Structures are given as C-alpha cells and as structure tokens.
Amino acid sequence: MANVALRKVVKKYDRTEAVRGIDLDIADKEFIVLVGPSGCGKSTTLRMIAGLEEVTDGEILIGGNLVNDVPPKDRDIAMVFQNYALYPHMTVYENMSFGLRLKKFPKPEIKSRVEHAARILGITELLERRPRQLSGGQRQRVAMGRAIVRNPKVFLFDEPLSNLDAKLRVQMRTEIKKVHQTVKTTTVYVTHDQIEAMTLADRVVVMNAGTIEQLGTPHDLYHTPRTKFVAGFIGSPAMNFLNCQLAEAAGGGLSTRLGNGLTFKVPADRTQRYKSHVGRDLLFGLRPEHITERRGDLRPDFQEFDATLDVVEPMGMETMVYFMVDGIEVCGRVNPSAAGKPGQPMRLVAELSHMHLIDPQTDAVI
Amino acid sequence: MTAAAIGADAPRRVASGSIRRSRRWALITSYFFLILFAIFFLVPPYYQLATATKTSEQISNQDTNPWLPALSAGSAGLNPGGANAGKANLAKIKKDSWLPAAVQGLMANVSQLMNETDFPIYFRNTAIVTVCVVIITMVIAVPAAFSLGRMKFWGSGILATGVFLTYLVPDSLLFIPLFKVVGGLGLLDSYWGLVLVYPTLTVPFCTWIMIGYFQSIPKELDEAALIDGANHIQMLFRIFIPVALPGLIAATIFAFTVSWAAFVYPMAFIYSSDQLVLTAGTITSLVKADVYQWGMIMTAALIAAAPPLVIYAFLMDYYIAGLTAGATKG
C-alpha cells in the first residue's frame, strides 16, 4: 500500500523525447489509468515506474521513497504484461510462486498465498497446468495471480487486455475491477482503449505526445474536456467537430453559425463564458449522443433541425445516423424506431446544453 | 433466381477443384524429390553395410556383384590382416552356420576389429574427447550467447558478428598455427590437445545458434523475471535455459557431431595409437601403404556412425516430444 508520485519526469531516447516532464500524484489504493494513442508515452511512463526504463530527468517516488536508482525487484511492485509473459516451462503454481521462491519465503506461506490468489481469480483447478494449456483469459488471470501473490505496494498493468477477443476483454475488465475492490492496491493501468479507461479508473490521465493533456475522473473528462484532443479521444463514436462563427443573436444572447445555413442558439447560461469570443471563427463540438430524435417536449436549450441522412447504422439498442454539414460528416445517435432512411431527411434535436466551443488556435475548450 | 444461384455455385466448385489438384501436384513433386534425395543419401551407407559383410577376398572378387552383401561365407585364410585369433573366431562363427552368410561375415569383421586392432581404444578416446568438448562448449557458449543476445551493451552486436566470423575460418587453415599452440602447451600427440582445439570449431557456432534462440524469447519474460526479483544468473538458469532447451539440444548435437567426426586435427596432432581417435585411427591402422582392409574399414565406419545415429534418431525425437507435449489445447 503506497502512493506514487512523479515529479517532472522526462524520458529521452537518443534524439526523441518520449515523455516530456510529467507531474502526477497517485493516492494510496487509487486506480489510475494512463490512456492515449500509441506513442504518447504512457507505456514508457509505466515502465519508468516499474524500473524497466531509466529516468532521464525528474523523480519517481513510491511510498515517499525516491526510487530512480532502485532496481525493479526492490521497488515492491508487480507488473502484468500485454502478452502475459508467463514462464512457459513452469506450471501455473510455479509461475505464481516464482517471485516468492526467489525471495526464499517459507513453503507453507507460499502455498497459502498462491491458493488465496487462485481463489480470488477462480483458477484453483488450473494450478498444475502449464501456460500453453490455458486460454487467453486464463493466462491473463495467472499473470494477475502472479502479481497478487507478491502482495506489492503497486500494481502495474501494461495493456493487459489487448490480446484478448472483444467479449473476453469486457469480462476481464470487470474481473480486474473486482480484484482491485478486493485487494485494494494502488494500481497504474495503461491502455489505448478509452472505454477501459473510463470503466476502470478512479482517475484517468489522458496523455498525448509525451505530456498529460488532462487528469480527472471519467465523468470530468467526458463532460468537461479541457482540450480538443481530450474531447475527441474520450467517447465513442468521437465528438463531432464543426467550424463555426460565434455571433450576437438577433433576440439577445449568442449564436453559432455552422455551414449549410445551420445556426444554433447558445444556451443562455453560456453567454457570459463565450462573450469575449464573439466574431471569431471557432470549433463547435457536440457528441453523437447529444444529436437525437425528438423525445417529448423541447427544452429551451434543445434545438430542432433537419438533416438529409447519408448512412444509417443500426446497432441494436440504438442507431447511428450520419449526415453532412459543410462537407464534414456528423454522427448522431437515435432510437432505432425513429431512424430515417438513407437519402431521406430526418428531423433531429441538438442538445446544446452539452455543446463545446474550442479555440482552433490553442485547441483549448473555451 | 435459382438459375443464378446455380450459376454462381459452379465457378466456386471449379476453383476448389483446382486447389485440390494443385495440392496433389505439390505433393507428387515433393514425394519425387524426397525419394530422390533419400536414395541419394542412403546409397553410401548401404554400400558401407554391404561391404562390411565381406572378407577382403570377397570384396576383390570381380565375379560377384559389389552391391550385394556376402552371399556365401568367406574363407578367413585369405584375409590379409587376419591373425590366428581372427581365424579361430571365424571358425566359431562358422559353426553357427544357420546364420546368413552376410551376418556371419559382419560378425567376423567386428570380432577382428575389436580383438586385433586398437579400435576399442580409439572409440574410448573419441568418447572422452567428445564428452569433454561438449561440456566445455556448453559452459562457454551458453553464457556467451545469453550476454550477447539478451544484454544490450556497447559493442555487443559487433562481438556477435565477430563470433560468427571466427567460425568461417576453415580448420584446414587453422591447424598449422594451432599446431604451434598445441605444441607449445606440450599437448601434441595427446587427445587432451584435441579437447583444447575442438572448441575453436564448436563454441562460435553454438554461440551463434543460441544467440538466435535467446533472442526469440520475448523480452517481457526477462522483465517479468526482473520484477519477480531474479538476478541475471537466476534468469539464465531458471528461465532462459529451460525455455531455450530445444536450441540448447540442437547446439549440443552440433558440438557432439563436430568433435566425433573431426578429422584434420587428429590427423595433424596425434600419432601414437593409444591417443588416436576413431576417424584418424581407423585410417592409420587399417590402411597399410596400399593395402586397404575394406571390410574392416567399413565395419569400423559403421560402428563409429552408430552413436551419432542413436542421438539423432532417438534423443532428438524424445526431447522434441517432451517439449511439445500438451502444446495443443486439450
């Protein structure tokens, strides 16, 4: 049990800077997810915490101790790898107990720890098997078991679910969350999958090009992204972005002029916030889930408009509709029964209380 | 609609037929060449076996077919190397005349080889040299390959290539300078000199094979071991050697074959018959000037070829079977 702190951590490879000065405080027992596109430095950051990569500059503290020059085995951490990294010539039991055996734990202690971990993960009956006799999901459980038996200060997960098929991934995601609720160890989890990040994390760190774009709870990131990158990265399908011009509306307040003669009135409570940007060319952002069919009475910050549908994608519980605005494809999520047909017009509602305006020069959300 | 469906089906059937046909042709071609090569490689050992059943008289007899084994029991009296003991043995074997003539002939040759020549000493010397060389090779090559293949350090790539380049220098060139070295160490005319020089052939190649094996092991495995608290020695012995065992066995077999069959070095460095090994010993003791005792030479070659054959045929299969057991999901 320990907190982890990163202070201005930098990692340079020859010429390229993979991580550019990261500050991060991870509380004890917290589940932190580092998420970002490939090459954003999230895995490098994790590997620096593990001690598998040297820190070029800055400090890493685990439990208040500076660990920059401490070898991995003395950091009291456990790591789960994307390809499981199980020892192929050992049984599951031997795999899980390897670390304890190296540390010369007494045999009964090893046995009870392995059996306890196996019970948590439901792999008791697999202990005598070898890794190649296991399915992907079982292997991942063993890899987690190997981490749990060590009873470390920090768990590190490096894209642990990426090698599993979609259905198993969802199952194991729940499993990991359950394990964390049971053993309550500080966890740093790296993934490129924003859904994994949202579902697992207490707090999510969105990384891009070696820096932290935003750090916050999943709810914060979804509803109040601070940059265009975060707005576009979190949420699936991604947020729609359209060029717009902010102007004074005829009857007071503000309005955004989009292409195709489409004009949306800015909700009254945002007027103050956007006022200083009147007359500028901005980026208008609205998530697909906030472009729907009309459901009951129109609230004042909802606005109806017509669109000619290009593509209609039924997903079962909902249907994605795509239409063009000013040459850019826009996605909406509607009730399957309300969805129109491709090539035909459909009346849609924009829930403008969820709109975002982005400054195209700084990419910051206003 | 139905017609269209049938029409759409037809070309698909043709396509699958052509796949089957091209597969059949591939098989026929493979079998043709495999059988051709099998014949090509098996003819010399067969000829060896056929000759080993004959006395020198039978071998030099122009009237019999040299490709067939001995059809009638030979007369021992005309065997030029045949001393009295050999005749006695032959006479004893002849009493068991229910055995086919070929087997009788082979047994006579074996018996003569074992009792009247230094062949058993050569065999023992070769075994000692080979076991020592295999051990020395593994002790040097495994850690070398591990450090060159897994631990990135300055110059490791150049060193690895350098190791391979050493292997490319042929022993027919090296034996001259090595003669000076072995002589300087006072190991000329001793099989311990061979124990010293054979690793110059085996170590580079075995290191090279195992660098490849070690590199094929995913790097997460040593990272996991590192986090589990293993140092490099523990990583090597508890993770890498067991995981790379097939490669290790391949390298061991290579080292075994090289030192079992080496010819140039023993020819150059050894001259006393109590120090000779199989390859050179057979030639020097069974070829006297222009007299070739072909029957015994071939018998000696057969016996000498037995240990590598056993190792290739059984050990390899046994290990591979052990390693791949349970590889498929049950």
CA A133 – CA A91 distance, rounded (Å): 10
Q: Tell me, yes or no, if A222 comes closer than 8 A to chain B by beta carbon.
A: no
Binary contact (B227, A130; C-beta < 8 A):
no
Instruction: Return the pLDDT at B328.
Output: 39
Instruction: Return the pLDDT at B28.
Output: 93
Question: Each residue of B240-275: pLDDT tens digit?
Answer: 888 888 788 888 888 888 898 888 888 888 888 888
| Candidates A73, A86, A133; nearest CB to B227 | A73
For residue A245 the two structure tokens come to 């011009």
Res. B294 pLDDT band, cuts 50 70 90 = confident
**Is the pLDDT reported for residue B316 higher than 80?**
no
Nearest CA in chain B to A88: B243
The residues with which A11 forms a beta bridge, in sequence order, are A19
Backbone angles phi, psi at A39, to 5 degrees: 85, 10
Write down the residue that tokens 């107990």 correspond to.
A97
Nearest CA in chain B to A104: B229
Question: Each residue of B97-115: pLDDT tens digit?
Answer: 677 778 888 888 888 888 8
Mean pLDDT of B50-64: 81
Res. B4 pLDDT band, cuts 50 70 90 = very low
Binary contact (A132, B243; C-beta < 8 A):
no
Closest chain A C-alpha to B314 CA, distance in angstroms = 22
Backbone angles phi, psi at B231, to 5 degrees: -90, 180
CA distances from A266 to A224, A283, A304, A310, B204 (A): 17, 14, 13, 27, 76
Question: Each residue of B225-247: pLDDT tens digit?
Answer: 988 888 888 888 888 888 888 78
Residue type, B174: L
Nearest CA in chain A to B231: A73
DSSP designation for B289: T
pTM of the model: 0.76
User: Own/partner pairs for B173-179, CB < 8 Å, 24+ apart?
Assistant: B174/B200, B175/B264, B175/B265, B175/B268, B175/B269, B178/B265, B179/B268, B179/B269
Task: Of A150-154, A336-340, B305-309, B319-323, give the lowest mean pLDDT range.
Answer: B319-323
Residue type, B189: D
Instruction: Return the pLDDT at B295.
Output: 84
Mean pLDDT of B24-34: 93
* Between B57 and A225, residue with greater pLDDT: A225
Res. B26 pLDDT band, cuts 50 70 90 = very high
Res. B79 pLDDT band, cuts 50 70 90 = very low
CA A78 – CA A100 distance, rounded (Å): 12
CA distances from B52 to A74, A152, B34, B91 (A): 67, 70, 27, 18
N-term to C-term CA, chain B: 45
CA A325 – CA A308 distance, rounded (Å): 10
**Is the pLDDT reported for residue B75 higher than 60?**
no
Q: Provide, as residue numbers in chain A, all residues whose Cβ is less than 8 Å from the Cβ of B327.
A: 132
**Is the pLDDT reported for residue B83 higher than 50?**
no
Q: Where are the alpha helices (DSSP H) in chain A?
A: 42-50, 92-102, 107-121, 136-149, 166-183, 194-200, 218-223, 228-233, 271-274
CA A108 – CA A123 distance, rounded (Å): 19
* Between A273 and B86, residue with greater pLDDT: A273
Binary contact (A83, B243; C-beta < 8 A):
no
B137 and B205 Cβ atoms separated by less than 8 Å: no
Mean of all residue pLDDT scores within chain B: 80
Q: Which helix (H) or strand (E) holds B259?
A: helix B245-261
Backbone angles phi, psi at A331, to 5 degrees: -115, 140
B76 and B82 Cβ atoms separated by less than 8 Å: yes
A306 and A345 Cβ atoms separated by less than 8 Å: yes
Nearest CA in chain A to B329: A133
Q: Which helix (H) or strand (E) holds B174?
A: helix B171-184
Binary contact (B227, A77; C-beta < 8 A):
yes
Q: Tell me, yes or no, if A50 comes closer than 8 A to chain B by beta carbon.
A: yes
Binary contact (A87, B221; C-beta < 8 A):
yes
Q: How many CB pairs under 8 A join A and B?
A: 63
Mutate to test the interface with B, among A125, A133, A138 (most CBs of B within 10 A): A133
Instruction: Return the pLDDT at B1.
Output: 42
Instruction: Return the pLDDT at A1.
Output: 64
Nearest CA in chain A to B322: A89
Calculate the CA dihedral of residues A59, A65, A68, A73 and round it to 10 degrees: -150
Res. B126 pLDDT band, cuts 50 70 90 = very high
Mean pLDDT of B19-28: 89
B265 CB neighbour count, 10 Å cutoff: 27
- Concatenating the DSSP letter of every residue in A261-293 gives T-EEEPPGGGHHHHGGGTT-EEEEEE-GGGEE-
Instruction: Return the pLDDT at B78.
Output: 41
Instruction: Return the pLDDT at B139.
Output: 94
A31 CA to centre of own chain: 12
Q: Mean pLDDT, consecutive 10-residue segments, chain A of 366 residues? A: 85 86 89 89 89 88 88 88 88 91 91 89 88 87 89 89 85 87 89 89 90 90 91 89 85 80 84 84 90 85 88 90 88 87 88 89 86
Binary contact (A72, B227; C-beta < 8 A):
yes
ipTM of the complex: 0.80
Closest chain B C-alpha to A50 CA, distance in angstroms = 8
Instruction: Return the pLDDT at A7.
Output: 87
CA B226 – CA A70 distance, rounded (Å): 12
B108 and B90 Cβ atoms separated by less than 8 Å: yes
CA distances from A15 to A11, A12, A18, A212, B152 (A): 11, 7, 10, 21, 19
Binary contact (B329, A98; C-beta < 8 A):
no
